[in-house]
Amino acid sequence: MNDTRRLRISLEPTFGNVDMVRAAVRGVCTDFFQLADSAESIMDFCLIVTELMNNAVEHSASAVLDAEILLSDNEAVFRLISEGTGFDPTLTAMMPGLAEDEELPEGGYGLALIQALADGMEYECWENRNMVTLRKRFPVKPGKEQ
């Protein structure tokens, strides 16, 4: 049996609301993917969701953001819909070349992080609306086939 869950949230585009959505994503993923080896994937998924939403808050002129989280046996999907002029986030973004002991500078690398950590990303634009879909695979639960 395919267990699927969905959560939809409409919110004002503020950084405080990004924090709230990140906490919700972490909570529902931790509850749904109850495997010890899911922790790293959950952290990665929360990071890419946060980066995507931060970009929407900072760069879109949207009055509202619509977010949707879909969870299935071995995949989490996050969709973000905004209004206004969009850009194609699937175009290749580059991470800076850093020495081993250097930290990533603040700002400008969210898209590269998303592309590095997401297992899939799609972008659609229609009637002044933009939808970005992020996918992250998780270990298969025992007793479930892929």
Domain of 131, in residue numbers: 5-137
Residue 88 pLDDT: 60
pTM to 2 decimal places: 0.83
Position 120 in a domain:
yes
Give me the CATH number covering residue 133: 3.30.565.10
Confidence class for position 38, pLDDT limits 50, 70, 90: confident
Quote the CA–CA distance of 29 and 23 in Å, as a whole number.
Answer: 10
Position 146 in a domain:
no
> What residues form DSSP beta bridges with 64?
none
Task: For 125-136, write each residue's pLDDT tens digit.
Answer: 888 899 999 999
Mean pLDDT for 7-30 is 95
Confidence class for position 59, pLDDT limits 50, 70, 90: confident
Position 143 in a domain:
no
In the chain, how many domains are there?
1
